[in-house]
Structure 1
Amino acid sequence: MYDVLVLVEEEISVADAKELVQLYAGRADAVKFHVLVPCENARAQVEASLTGLAGSDLFGMPSQRYAFRPDEDVRRAADDAQRAVDAEAAAALERSVGRLRSFDRDADGLITHRHPVDELVDHIPRVHGQEVVVLTRPHVIAELLHVDWSAQARRHLGVPVLHLLEQQPTE
């Protein structure tokens, strides 16, 4: 079994699933895809947004006696937002895995709240991964500065890393 981890920025489209399957069509041994879908931390975003919107006038400077403490309503809203984000990521993962399986390929996956490259580093030994495919939209500046996910993965992993750009749907 040849295990390939696929880090995606968005769910895998039918066209992208087809391209992934075709990349490994000539392999003599079976290929299993392990899809990794990053999931945002909604609570941190809600708190950062509120702090950024109100600034120091409402919440005070961090060095002052009273630091920003979200009340129960903000916590509840952040928890609700996190559940919605998690559900969306889980649905995207399910559709992505389903699309790979529709091409008669073995596939599984997980969502993560951690930094995607950190999750890759920990997940590769668990699944005995031999290769990583990073599937993202173009990020020209990040790629130019070599801080995109594929560049980070190449620095931290001892396996080949292939960066593919998501195919844009034709209208």
Structure 2
Amino acid sequence: MTSILVLTEEALTAHDVERIATLHGTDQVSVHLLVAPEDRRDLVDALDDVALGRLPGRGRPDGVRGEQAVEQSRDALAARGLAVTAQLSGGDPVAEAAGAATDEIWVVTPPHLVEEALHRDWASKLRERTGRPVLHFVSGTDRVVS
């Protein structure tokens, strides 16, 4: 069984759930979902908002966060037949993800153009901290950032 840690900041989309459920074909997959609490806002986050045409500090208008994102995502993954545990991060989501004993680490987020360009995104930080490969998907799409 392949175990995947999925780090996200919003509820997974139907597309994200389908990708997680099918990427390993017929192999059994278990997922540990870690949802980061509300955005930590800093200058880089504000620049990302501006670069993507969002009002600074507002995030995505359709974003579901926190416990609701944990519940929605957990239920959607379980409905696809995956073994899933899910939780809201209690602190630094990168540190929690780095400490997870899983086969793979996936980051699924909306675009963060400035963070990605400066390698301050979660996937880059996780690669540095763990020395392991990390897949970074743009939520709701097939776009792999790195």
Common topology (TM > 0.5): yes
4+ aligned runs moved over 6 Å, structure 1 = none
CA contact (8 A) 1:130 1:159 kept: no
Gaps of 5+ in 2: 41-64, 142-146
Q: Which protein is bigger by CA-based radius of gyration?
A: 1
CA contact (8 A) 1:40 1:113 kept: no
Q: Which has the higher helix share?
A: 1
CA 1:145 to 1:100, structure 2 compared with 1: closer, same or farther past 3 Å? same
State the TM-score, normalizing by the size of structure 2: 0.73
CA contact (8 A) 1:4 1:133 kept: yes
CA contact (8 A) 1:34 1:107 kept: yes
Distance (Å, rounded) in 1 between the aligned partners of 2:4 and 2:76: 16
SS of the residue corresponding to residue 6 of structure 1 reads strand
- Number of residue pairs aligned between Structure 1 and Structure 2: 117
Could you say what the CA RMSD is over the residues aligned between the two structures, in angstroms? 1.9
Q: Does 1:136 align with 2:109?
A: yes
The corresponding residue for 2:35 is 37
CA contact (8 A) 2:9 2:37 kept: no
State the TM-score, normalizing by the size of structure 1: 0.63
Q: Does 1:156 align with 2:111?
A: no
The corresponding residue for 1:118 is 95
What fraction of aligned residue pairs are identical, expressed as a percent? 31
Deviation at 1:102, TM superposition (A): 1.2
Deviation at 1:160, TM superposition (A): 2.4
Deviation at 1:40, TM superposition (A): 3.5
CA contact (8 A) 2:9 2:38 kept: no
SS of the residue corresponding to residue 19 of structure 2 reads helix
1:156 partner amino acid: R
Gaps of 5+ in 1: 43-87
1:35 partner amino acid: L
**Residue of structure 2 aligned with 1:89, choices 66, 70, 83:** 66
The corresponding residue for 2:8 is 8
Deviation at 1:137, TM superposition (A): 0.6
Distance (Å, rounded) in 2 between the aligned partners of 1:35 and 1:108: 6
Distance (Å, rounded) in 2 between the aligned partners of 1:152 and 1:146: 7
CA contact (8 A) 1:15 1:167 kept: yes
CA 1:41 to 1:149, structure 2 compared with 1: closer, same or farther past 3 Å? closer
The corresponding residue for 2:60 is none
CA 1:26 to 1:159, structure 2 compared with 1: closer, same or farther past 3 Å? farther
